[in-house]
Structure 1
Amino acid sequence: MAMFESLSKRLEGIFSNLSGQGKLTEDDVNAALREVRIALIEADVNLKVARQFVERVKQKAIGADVMGSLSPAQQVLSIVNEELIEVLGGTDDKNKLDLSGAPPNVIMLVGLQGAGKTTTAAKLANYLRKQGSRPLMVAADMYRPAAVKQLQTLGKQLTVPVYSEPMGANPVDICANSIAYAREQACNVVILDTAGRLNIDERMMNEIITIRNRIQPREVLLVADAMTGQEAVRVAQDFNQAVSLTGMILTKMDGDARGGAALSIRSVTGVPVKFMTVGEKMDALEPFYPDRLASRILGMGDVLSLIERAQETIDQEEAMKAQAKLQQGKFDLEDFLSAMRQLKRMGPLRQVMEMLPGMNKLMDMPEMEEALEGDQLKYVEAIILSMTRDERRNPDIINGSRRRRIARGSGTGVEEVNQLLKQFAEMRTMIRQVSSGKGPWAQMARQFGGGAGLPGGAGVPALSRPGGGKKTGKAARKEKRKQKARGGRR
């Protein structure tokens, strides 16, 4: 994810240098860990946390017996991974939402204005509803203009009920009255959207302390903007001291390249991060899994989250039909278009790619960078939709005149149509090899754990705009004219 982009690249470079050596000496480990410490500090990790992290890794790395299946460099990487998981929150149940009490369970959201508390309340309600709960959102922010209206609009959009009272009502009473309303409506989870301020003040704290004491919520979650870095850590300390937080939700985790707040908060405050938001859409809320996040930071992907996202968004019946056609060697452009549309439903292409192991280096390539910017899949879609049904089902019949017609119909060039057909032929070969278990693509699939639940095994070659990042068709001819004109002026 973008939040850890710079840290991931720095750590990847450090471990690449280590793996280039044979047997590691203590000096090699010390030099690498100095670089790790600098990388953490540059990522805005708390200085004390960075120092303790490096010291723990050093003690384990120098004193450890290298496992027979790992090289020394891999052993150090394994230790760093373990320590990252610990810093991010470990593997205990404190990272999970506790809704084990008698219903309705109350979740109280607190935080400063601008952190995204109201939209996070809606995202959390949407997440819980998908988990089988019946949530009720409560508009308890009587100070921010349009806060009540915003929550009502989001509730209508999600078909989640919202409890509100007229402006001027007491927020403490609103929260108390909402519990009785939840029982009447058979809602088993109540989400309180309390008021925020631009800065922490006495009136704000007194109000949320009163609500907490009167309602006795099961969870008190601080919604904090991850992009504020160490300021988010200080805010967490203040709120935790006032209302004894049970957890945190970090927002805007897709919007910053550093990520120091996520790596510092648990160690500094002792408060576990339970969720993170990774986009603006209502389904852009993910449980916070320290082990999976550590894998992403170290460039090892997050296949489990990818599979879960695929299971949520992919039509299993369509996927089974596609798989059957694959095994029979009948995968065509109609199947590919269906698989591509399902892939789009999984979210932004960059987020999906970041979950695949070993994709960090590939994503630095100019061709991949261009493919991941904007909605490049629409060009592929336009070309396929400009074909006749016979052409989509049997691409081998697409001759020169058909290619020219398809290019005109899709607003692209013949070169782009040719490139798509070439990519599709390569991808079909790849899929057949993966399905049969023979060939280089099958070997690679076994190495990385299979297709990670992607529809039809849709792979990297078909994800970019035809041309693989190169200008083709009209764009290429225009570029050539520009170069010729520049050459003529010299």
Structure 2
Amino acid sequence: MVMGIKDMGKSISDLMRRVLTKTTVDRDSIEAFVKGLQRILLKSDVEVNLVYELSQNIRDRSLKEKPPEGLTLREHFTKVIYEELVKLLGENQESLIGKKRIMLVGLFGSGKTTTAAKLGKKLKKQGLRVGMIAADYHRPAAPEQLQQLGNKIDVPVYYSDKKDPQTALRSGLAKFHKFDTVIIDTAGRDALDKDLATELK
């Protein structure tokens, strides 16, 4: 019986969960994942040569590539799986894993800084290399708060000693230019605050 796309996705998610919840990710667990993935894809009527190529790519990259700085072997393994599955689905999906810049904007007190940290933690768990930029210099101690949150989730934070959001943004993007995702925490603003609206633009 051929497995549908929805069922295939659920089966792959379940397989990843079983492997990634183990105490360690090693050669045996990677091999177990590859074999499980092969069964799922073949049941989904994916062409045998593509399944073989995907399996080899995941196996080789997971075992031979050195994880990027800041990523554990588990996180790197997750990232490899995601990237290789996207390649299998088609190059038109490539934008899903391209470098992203996420700017958080909103009213005063809407929780942008804590949201930045929650988002950073979630993306890091998915195996992405994440950096955060503190661009809020209107609220006292906002950069320090983001730095503390970044330390807790092991995500690097950049902020400018000049207390200037534009300088922080330019320098932070340069610092994190090799990262998968950069999250930018901006100052809270009021709909009638023309200065902050101009800063955002």
TM-score by length of 1: 0.21
Structure ranking higher on relative contact order (CA contacts 8 Å, 6+ apart)? 2
Q: Which has the larger radius of gyration?
A: 1
TM-score (structure 2 length as normaliser): 0.50
